[in-house]
A = this chain, B = another copy of it.
């Protein structure tokens, strides 16, 4: 009560329109996208929304609920934009790239997915994958493992790529110099003990994460095709 009148004049004005869960989630996404994971604090949210802690907790269970909701929002947005191509293989590539790019653009989504890999929003992704594998004539018996493997691969790479993106954002070096120093480290490794790492240093500098990701999808698709043959017993 003491200095109340003094502090009140300095306090930010409260909002007049009412708060909503949706508004809180969108504000959280803005914060995460613009200033990174560590910028999402309850404090920052109260400031941005001109409100108090309790107001936020009235619409959202806790911070992890908020992070999960924000993640669902991004994923749903990506998947709804994914069209169906005529060629199943091509559609699968586009689908995988869509998730890859989305997580690259919102690295915090990668971190959250690595904490909670099975969000309901990913059901659509799984469904699409299974449908396309069916179109590729993968027998039902193998489909479960194949779909699971592709899910794992796509999410796994995206998550790791996001970790790199976050580290790049934290430091002040750009991707080129980052790869240069990494490649330099690989090149300095003892060539007799690590011949292959040593030899790969040059390719590390030149490689494109997105292309390598796609190369992996293609390896998977080739491997999958063999499941079709071997099942014709």
**How many angstroms between the C-alpha atoms of A25 and B121 in the bound complex?**
39
Residues from chain B with Cβ under 8 Å of A75 in the complex: none
Residues from chain B with Cβ under 8 Å of A219 in the complex: 145-146, 149, 220, 223-224, 226-227
User: Does residue A134 face the partner (Cβ distance < 8 Å to B)?
Assistant: yes
Q: Is the CB of B130 within 8 A of A200?
A: yes
Which label, helix, strand, loop or mixed, suits the secondary structure of the A interface? helix
User: Does residue A148 face the partner (Cβ distance < 8 Å to B)?
Assistant: yes
Q: Is the CB of A152 within 8 A of B163?
A: no
User: Does residue A7 face the partner (Cβ distance < 8 Å to B)?
Assistant: no
Chain B proximity of A142: nearest CB distance (Å): 8
Within 8 A of B (CB), among A141-171: 143-149, 152-153, 155-157, 159-160, 163-164, 167
Residues from chain B with Cβ under 8 Å of A182 in the complex: 118
Q: Is the CB of B222 within 8 A of A226?
A: yes
Chain B proximity of A46: nearest CB distance (Å): 25
Q: Is the CB of B111 within 8 A of A216?
A: no
A109-149: CB near B (< 8 Å → 1, else 0) gives 00100111110000110110011001000001001111111
Residues from chain B with Cβ under 8 Å of A227 in the complex: 219
Q: Is the CB of A148 within 8 A of B216?
A: yes
User: Does residue A221 face the partner (Cβ distance < 8 Å to B)?
Assistant: yes
Known: A126-B197, A127-B197, A223-B220. A160 touches B149 (CB 8 A): no
Within 8 A of B (CB), among A169-217: 182, 186, 189, 193-197, 199-200, 203-204, 207, 212-213, 215-216
Q: Is the CB of A156 within 8 A of B145?
A: no
Q: Is the CB of A152 within 8 A of B196?
A: no
- A sample of 16 more A-B contacts (CB under 8 A), given A114-B159, A145-B215, A219-B223, is A116-B163, A116-B167, A117-B164, A118-B164, A127-B197, A130-B200, A148-B207, A149-B219, A152-B160, A155-B160, A218-B223, A220-B220, A221-B223, A222-B222, A222-B223, A223-B223
